[in-house]
């Protein structure tokens, strides 16, 4: 009975909030429902016919969850999933309350949750999760948890508490060590096509350039800050013996093919693999390998990070027993929802929005933007709590890549001067750095200066993204899909 | 007659202690030297890697996570003699956060064994119960300001003859109690700078960055005067950071 009341109260408050137009991801309805019935989340989730699926990790949660939901819809499954950004226990509760009928019945095959790393063990304690997918563990939340190790610990606890099946990124040593006592399925990238420059096949070279290797500066403007990859290669350590992993291939951050020279532990052989990866300005193709067979995937998303997201989504769906045909169709038909990685049309101009929040993700977004020969670039940096109040991560991202982009770059947001300074020290000519602190004016300037055949790449931190959604809505944006 | 200026920088434990945008400090030293035509090199020095204490003008040691501190502390103690020798001979050390803590006598964690520092400065650090996170503004003895971001739970205390880097105007600094932040201590012919500020520290504090460059150059060059750079953007970013809430 308490549940019915909780659901009614939750639904009513959600309507009230929508009516007054409060922002996205409000946690209030979930909080109200949980206050009335603490078991409401468990009781609703239990009704899913085939189970509860969780997607966690630092980068790519939203896109991966979106890809999984696209595949599940292709498979004819009914799903309930949480709204983007609402990935704490209250937001997840609110999403189920929203999906349930007024009597508290939830008619779905799967509950699919994007879950914040810290919230995973909390949700897992209430809800038996069948499969936990972990995308990657980059350091971006040091000011939240203090340490990356703490985050890994929280996720590990979330997996083992229900003995969930774990779908893990084999290429990320921080992730591959998780859930050792559970059933595990690994995915990873075996090879890029030779025409992509982002992978470094030379182990020793990659390891040596991980700091500035004796940088001489005869030509200050171009040479002084070392190789672009310099600060971004992350070091990783063997969980067994604490020795530094040695890489035979590095993709980005700490992702790659690694092995411990002292105890022999190494990257697990992926059950699901990506190979022959081709990256294009607004799409990618790769060969998806599973159980000895290979399937051609064409993905309507740019950037190596999105190939990882697609592999992750495919792996989760393989673990549910779905067919390769359904999986490939779901990936190909994916259309971006309003969120962290999406294409919109504003005033008849093409705009690509890609959330950035940490060095690895930002470097990948910049790399993708620079690869597009018709790109214009706008970077929006705020320092609210949801963005991370410490903007020092900007210095660890590869903004040096923008030297190849010889057009003006607009910087905006509360910390636009920090961003401008970052570009100056990346040897971007100051004449190409346009500072416009107000986001709406910056966006307008970006749209005004671009040609009709160009795409404006907007790279915002989280609260800039929320502001952008409001601004673009008032400008009459339309989703163009991809 | 004047030889071209060169600056040699060593980046200790680049692999381990490279979080919180430490790279920004090195990029700043590199660019501000290069823009003035100074030939500058940065050499990473890893664990167990030998180095010549007479070689480098500036040593940079960054911040790390707790787990890495033990490995670093052990290695640093093996080089204790060489680092003392280098600083006494005129080298400059800039150590941030975890690196700063290990320049004192010890780091005492909440539980477990004490980590021995290298006693380059008369200071010690004790684990605190609260993490000090936020924007910081420091006033230096010469009246100039430093802006940055701190994120630490260790509380560092300076011996009575040790010069702090400055006094905290916003934020916590060394320990949250005595309003002191960092250290700027002359040791022999050299100088040791330690600080909890990252964010990155040097890009938004060009005066301090140039002070380090000038001190570094002075080890092997006579009467160096750095020509000024156009710091309009640096100064604007600095001014804005002064107004950030803690
Ligand atoms: Zn090992």
Q: Which of B134, B204, B233 sits opposite A389 (nearest CB)?
A: B134
Residue A296 lies in a domain: no
CA of A259 to the centre of ligand 1 (A): 8
Q: Which of A139, A383, A421 sits opposite B233 (nearest CB)?
A: A421
Considering the entire predicted model, what is its pTM? 0.72
Domain count, chain A: 2
The ipTM value here is: 0.95
CA distance B97 to A340: 33
Which among A188, A207, A232 is the end of a domain? A188
Residue A145 lies in a domain: yes
Asked whether the predicted pLDDT for residue B41 surpasses 80, the reply is: yes
Condensed to tens digits (0 to 9), the pLDDT of residues A269-291 reads 999 999 999 988 778 999 999 99
Give me the phi and psi of A290, to 5 degrees please: -155, 130
Condensed to tens digits (0 to 9), the pLDDT of residues B146-194 reads 999 998 989 999 999 999 999 999 999 999 999 999 999 999 999 999 9
Say if the Cβ atoms of B11 and A212 lie within 8 Å: yes
Q: Testing the interface with B: which of A151, A241, A388, A390 to mutate, by most B Cβ within 10 A?
A: A390
Q: Which of B19, B28, B38 sits opposite A139 (nearest CB)?
A: B19
Which among A143, A161, A188 is the end of a domain? A188
Average pLDDT value for residue range A380-399: 90
Which among A133, A165, A188 is the end of a domain? A188
**Torsion-angle region of A455 (φ positive above 0: left; ψ -120 to 50: alpha; else: beta):** beta
CA of B213 to the centre of ligand 1 (A): 40
CA distance B4 to B36: 11
3-state DSSP assignment of residue A304? helix
Q: Which of B23, B40, B66 sits opposite A395 (nearest CB)?
A: B23
Q: B35 and B206 in contact (C-beta within 8 Å)?
A: no
Write the CATH number for A356.
Answer: 3.90.190.20
| Pair of tokens at residue A161 | 């508490």
CA distance A353 to A341: 6
Residue B116: predicted pLDDT = 94
The domains of chain B are located at 6-242
Residue A394 lies in a domain: yes
Extract long-range pairs of A465-470: CB within 8 Å, 24+ residues apart: A465/A340, A465/A353, A465/A355, A465/A380, A466/A23, A466/A24, A466/A85, A467/A439, A468/A353, A468/A380, A468/A439, A468/A443, A469/A24, A469/A338
Going by pLDDT thresholds of 50, 70 and 90, the confidence category of residue A139 is confident
Asked whether the predicted pLDDT for residue A380 surpasses 90, the reply is: yes
The question of whether B78 is a catalytic residue gets the answer no
Residue A196 lies in a domain: no
Going by pLDDT thresholds of 50, 70 and 90, the confidence category of residue A194 is confident
Say if the Cβ atoms of B237 and A242 lie within 8 Å: no
Q: B164 and B184 in contact (C-beta within 8 Å)?
A: yes
Residue A195: predicted pLDDT = 65
Q: Supply the range of the domain harboring residue A144.
A: 2-188
For tokens 């010890």, name the residue.
Answer: B106
Residue A67 lies in a domain: yes
Residue A196: predicted pLDDT = 59
> Measured between beta carbons, which residues in chain A are less than 8 angstroms from residue B198?
390, 392
Catalytic residue among B11, B97, B105, B152: B97
CA of A263 to the centre of ligand 1 (A): 4
Beta bridge partners of A410: A378, A434
| pLDDT mean across residues, chain A | 84
Work out the number of other CB atoms within 10 angstroms of the CB of residue A180. Answer: 12
Write the CATH number for A15.
Answer: 3.40.1190.10
Q: Measured between CB atoms, does B19 come within 8 Å of chain A?
A: yes
Fold of B6-242: Rossmann fold (3.40.50)
Residue A322 lies in a domain: no
Q: Testing the interface with A: which of B34, B39, B136 to mutate, by most A Cβ within 10 A?
A: B34
Give me the phi and psi of B74, to 5 degrees please: -65, -45
Residue A230 lies in a domain: no
Percent of chain A, pLDDT > 70?
84
> Considering only residues 103 to 132 of chain B, which have any Cβ-Cβ distance to chain A shorter than 8 Å?
131
Give me the phi and psi of A276, to 5 degrees please: 50, 50
Catalytic residue among B105, B152, B198, B238: B198
């Amino acid at each position: 009975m308490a549940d019915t009341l909780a659901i009614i109260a939750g639904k009513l408050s959600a309507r009230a909030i929508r009516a007054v137009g409060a922002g996205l991801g409000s946690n209030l309805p979930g909080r109200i429902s949980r206050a009335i019935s603490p078991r409401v989340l468990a009781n609703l989730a239990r009704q899913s016919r085939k189970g509860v699926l969780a997607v966690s990790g630092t980068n790519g949660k939203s896109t991966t969850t979106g890809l999984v939901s696209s595949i599940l819809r292709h498979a004819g499954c009914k799903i309930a999933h949480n709204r983007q950004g609402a990935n704490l226990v209250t937001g997840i509760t609110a999403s189920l309350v929203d999906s349930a009928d007024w009597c508290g019945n939830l008619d779905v095959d799967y509950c699919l949750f994007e879950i914040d790393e810290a919230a995973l063990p909390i949700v897992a304690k209430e809800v038996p999760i069948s499969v936990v997918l972990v995308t990657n563990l980059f350091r971006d939340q040091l000011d939240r948890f203090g340490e990356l190790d703490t985050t890994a610990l929280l996720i590990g606890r979330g997996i083992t508490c229900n003995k969930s099946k774990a779908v893990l990124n084999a290429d990320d040593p921080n992730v591959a060590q998780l859930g050792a006592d559970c059933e595990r399925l690994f995915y990873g990238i075996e090879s890029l096509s030779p025409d992509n420059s982002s992978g470094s096949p030379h182990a020793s070279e990659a390891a040596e350039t991980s700091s500035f290797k004796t940088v001489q500066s005869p030509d200050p403007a171009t040479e002084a800050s070392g190789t672009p990859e310099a600060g971004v290669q992350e070091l990783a350590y063997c969980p067994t013996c604490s020795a530094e992993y040695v890489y035979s291939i590095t993709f980005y951050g700490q992702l790659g093919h690694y092995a411990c020279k002292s105890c022999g532990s190494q990257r697990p052989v992926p059950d699901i693999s990506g190979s022959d990866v081709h990256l294009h300005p607004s799409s990618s193709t790769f060969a998806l390998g599973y159980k000895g067979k290979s399937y051609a995937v064409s993905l309507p998303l740019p950037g190596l990070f999105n190939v990882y997201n697609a592999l992750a989504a495919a792996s989760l769906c393989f673990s549910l027993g779905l067919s390769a045909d359904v999986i490939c169709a779901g990936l190909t038909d994916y259309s971006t929802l309003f969120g962290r990685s999406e294409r919109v049309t504003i005033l008849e101009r093409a705009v690509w929005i890609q959330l950035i929040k940490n060095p690895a993700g930002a470097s990948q977004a910049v790399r993708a933007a620079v690869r597009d020969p018709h790109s214009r670039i706008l970077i929006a940096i705020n320092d609210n709590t949801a963005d991370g109040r410490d903007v020092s991560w900007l210095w660890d991202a590869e903004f040096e890549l923008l030297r190849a982009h010889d057009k003006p770059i607009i910087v905006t947001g509360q910390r636009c001067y920090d961003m401008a300074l970052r570009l100056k020290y990346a040897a971007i000519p100051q004449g190409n750095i346009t500072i416009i602190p107000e986001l709406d004016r910056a966006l307008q300037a970006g749209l005004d200066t671009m040609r009709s055949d160009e795409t404006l790449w907007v790279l915002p931190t989280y609260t800039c993204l929320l502001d952008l959604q409001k601004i673009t809505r008032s400008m009459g944006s339309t989703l163009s899909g991809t | 007659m004047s030889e071209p200026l060169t600056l040699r920088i060593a980046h200790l434990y680049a692999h381990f202690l490279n979080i919180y945008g430490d790279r920004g400090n090195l990029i700043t030293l590199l660019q501000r030297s290069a823009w003035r035509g100074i030939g500058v090199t940065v050499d990473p020095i890893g664990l167990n890697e030998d180095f010549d204490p007479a070689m480098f003008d500036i040593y940079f040691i960054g911040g790390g996570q707790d787990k890495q501190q033990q490995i670093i502390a052990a290695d640093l103690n093996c080089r204790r003699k060489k680092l003392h020798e280098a600083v006494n001979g005129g080298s400059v050390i800039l150590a941030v956060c975890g690196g700063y803590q290990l320049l004192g006598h010890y780091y005492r964690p909440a539980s477990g064994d004490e980590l021995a520092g290298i006693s380059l400065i008369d200071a010690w650090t004790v684990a605190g119960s609260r993490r000090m996170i936020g924007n910081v503004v420091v006033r230096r003895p010469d009246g100039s300001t430093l802006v940055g971001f701190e994120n630490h739970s260790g509380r560092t205390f300076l011996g009575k003859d040790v010069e702090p880097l400055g006094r905290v105007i916003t934020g916590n600094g060394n320990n949250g109690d005595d309003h002191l932040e960092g250290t700027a201590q002359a040791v022999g012919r050299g100088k040791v700078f330690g600080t909890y500020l990252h964010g990155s520290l040097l890009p938004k504090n060009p005066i301090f960055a140039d002070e380090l460059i000038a001190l570094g150059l002075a080890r092997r060059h006579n009467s160096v005067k750095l020509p000024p750079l156009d710091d309009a953007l640096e100064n604007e970013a600095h001014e804005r950071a002064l107004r950030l809430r803690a």
